[in-house]
Every structure is written in structure tokens, then in C-alpha cells.
């Protein structure tokens, strides 16, 4: 389940990773009007979704007739414990996407301001973080299926903290390395978070997925606006020091119950 979810997400993460790279090699040399050519990719995706929608409709009809109880899930979790676990997951999504919104929105400005690099170089450095994010998404899905989603969530958020805390104080080379490692580790959480949440409430898969994907995009936008406001009040370097504290919230993942039965 986690691997399937991560494969879905890596399309979006891969596209986001290519964004700064395409900006550096296409948009900057040829102008903003060249962005319109990328609409062809959206049209291709729409055509694929028409075919996929027909397949999924048939799949839903099959599941409605052939309902099966998942024998690998822990069904002894109380309703109160489930809601508490969902609250913890929301807090983890908040910490993850507030931190990543700071990186994706302001990392180029941070590099230009602190190290005096060119716009193209800063875009390439941002690509390093976003590429690590895409790789970490797939890796997190595989690890979640193998070792348990709770432990991947715990390691992913909290494990990024040392690199996030060290990054604002490093030189250029180590800044890129720490950014790559923090992106690689923190990206591994989301597919496990979504699947973990649907395991808690397997009869409300659509609702749970909608809530967490909505939080992903909503918190990312709010985080970008918040750190932009804070940067105007203080400095770009200051917001990176503040945002580096967010992955420490990963420690609360230890309170999550196990949704999977032990083999």
C-alpha cells in the first residue's frame, strides 16, 4: 500500500523537482512565454485520466460486491485512540509541509543572499532538494511496507531534524548536502502517513485521503505565506533557523498506535 501511494506521489514530486531545472534551462533563456508549452503535459495527463477513470469505476464496482476484511490490520484500536492518532498525524503533516514550503519557496533567495550565487545556480541547488524529495517518496513507501508505517513516519520527520538544524550554519557545499539529506528523509513520511490513516479508518478511505492531501497543499501555501511575512520582518537566514525546529515535532510519532498486526 505504501509503495503504491508513493508511486502516485512521485509523479507530483518529480514534476516539482523538474520545475526549477526547466526554469534554469528553458524559461530563463527563452522567456516566460515558453511556459505555455508545458500545458501539453497537462493535456496528455487528462487523456490518460479518462481511461483510468473507466478502469477505476469498474474496480469500485467489484470491491462493492466482493467486500473483504483485511486480516493484517489491528482492529482493537478504540475510537478515541484513532482520533488521537489522526490529530498526531495532522501535527506531523503541519511540521513537514511548513518546513518544506520554506525550502521550496525561499531556498534560492537564501543561497543568493548568503553565498552570492547566480539565479541559475540557485535553481539547480533547489533541484537537488526536490530530486531528493522525489527519491525519498519512493524509498519511504517501500520501507513503510517492510518495517511498518509508524516507524517510517517517526524516523522520517525526526530524522531530518539534525540536517535541518545544521544547514543554516554550514558553508555552500555542506548546505547542499544537508538540504539533500533532509529532503530525502522527510519526504519518506507522507505516503506512510496517508496509508496509516486509511488503515485507522478503512471504511473512509476517500475522506481520509481528501483530508490529508488537502492539508498537504493548504499547509504548504500557508507556510509559504507565513515565512514570507516573517522574512520581511526579520531576514531570510532567520526563517531558515526557525523552520529547522519544525522536524523536532516528529518525536510525537512515538505515541501512534500500531495499525498493523505483528507477523
Residue 72: what pLDDT? 66
Q: Which residues of 18-52 are buried (b: 16+ CB within 10 A; e: fewer)?
A: ebbbbbbeebeeeeeeeeeeeeeeeeeeeeeeeee
Report the 10 Å Cβ neighbour count for 234: 12
Q: How far apart are CA 125 and CA 107, in angstroms?
A: 8
Residue 6: what pLDDT? 86
Residue 68: what pLDDT? 63
pLDDT(211) > 80: yes
Angle (CA) 256-258-262 rounded to 5° is 160
The mean predicted confidence, pLDDT, of the chain is 88
| CATH architecture type of domain 9-255 | Up-down Bundle (1.20)
Q: Which long-range contacts (CB under 8 A, 24 or more apart) does 94-97 make?
A: 94/215, 94/219, 94/249, 95/157, 95/246, 95/247, 95/248, 95/249, 95/250, 96/157, 96/186, 96/189, 96/190, 96/246, 96/247, 97/215, 97/216, 97/219, 97/220, 97/223
Backbone angles phi, psi at 245, to 5 degrees: -80, -20
For the stretch 146-157, pLDDT in tens is 888 888 999 999
Residue that wins the pLDDT comparison between 64 and 3: 3
Mean pLDDT of 23-33: 83
Domain residue extents for the chain: 9-255
Residue with cell 517517526: 154
Q: How far apart are CA 6 and CA 8, in angstroms?
A: 5
Q: Whole-model pTM?
A: 0.81
Q: How far apart are CA 137 and CA 83, in angstroms?
A: 26
Over pLDDT 90: what percentage of the chain? 45
Residue 106: what pLDDT? 95
Residue 133 banded pLDDT, cuts 50, 70, 90:
confident
Three cell numbers, residue 96? 513537514
Amino acid at each position: 500500500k505504501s509503495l503504491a501511494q508513493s508511486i502516485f506521489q512521485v509523479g507530483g514530486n518529480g514534476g516539482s523537482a523538474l520545475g526549477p531545472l526547466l526554469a534554469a534551462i528553458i524559461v530563463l533563456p527563452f522567456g516566460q512565454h515558453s511556459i505555455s508549452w508545458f500545458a501539453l503535459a497537462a493535456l496528455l495527463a487528462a487523456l490518460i485520466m479518462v481511461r483510468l477513470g473507466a478502469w477505476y469505476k469498474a474496480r469500485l464496482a467489484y470491491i462493492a460486491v466482493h467486500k473483504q476484511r483485511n486480516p493484517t490490520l489491528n482492529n482493537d484500536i478504540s475510537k478515541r485512540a484513532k482520533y488521537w492518532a489522526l490529530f498526531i498525524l495532522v501535527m506531523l503533516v503541519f511540521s513537514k509541509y511548513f518546513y518544506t514550503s520554506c525550502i521550496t519557496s525561499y531556498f534560492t533567495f537564501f543561497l543568493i543572499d548568503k553565498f552570492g550565487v547566480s539565479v541559475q545556480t540557485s535553481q539547480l541547488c533547489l533541484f537537488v532538494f526536490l530530486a531528493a524529495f522525489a527519491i525519498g517518496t519512493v524509498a519511504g513507501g517501500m520501507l513503510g511496507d517492510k518495517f511498518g508505517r509508524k516507524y517510517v513516519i517517526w524516523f522520517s520527520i525526526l530524522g531530518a531534524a539534525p540536517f535541518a538544524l545544521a544547514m543554516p550554519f554550514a558553508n555552500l557545499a555542506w548546505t547542499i548536502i544537508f538540504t539533500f539529506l533532509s529532503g530525502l528523509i522527510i519526504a519518506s513520511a507522507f505516503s506512510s502517513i496517508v496509508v496509516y490513516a486509511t488503515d485507522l479508518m478503512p471504511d473512509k478511505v476517500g475522506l481520509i485521503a481528501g483530508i490529508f492531501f488537502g492539508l498537504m497543499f493548504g499547509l504548504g501555501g500557508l507556510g509559504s505565506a507565513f515565512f514570507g511575512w516573517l522574512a520581511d520582518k526579520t531576514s531570510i537566514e532567520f526563517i531558515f533557523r526557525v523552520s529547522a525546529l519544525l522536524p523536532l515535532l516528529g518525536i510525537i510519532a512515538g505515541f501512534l498506535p500500531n495499525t498493523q498486526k505483528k507477523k
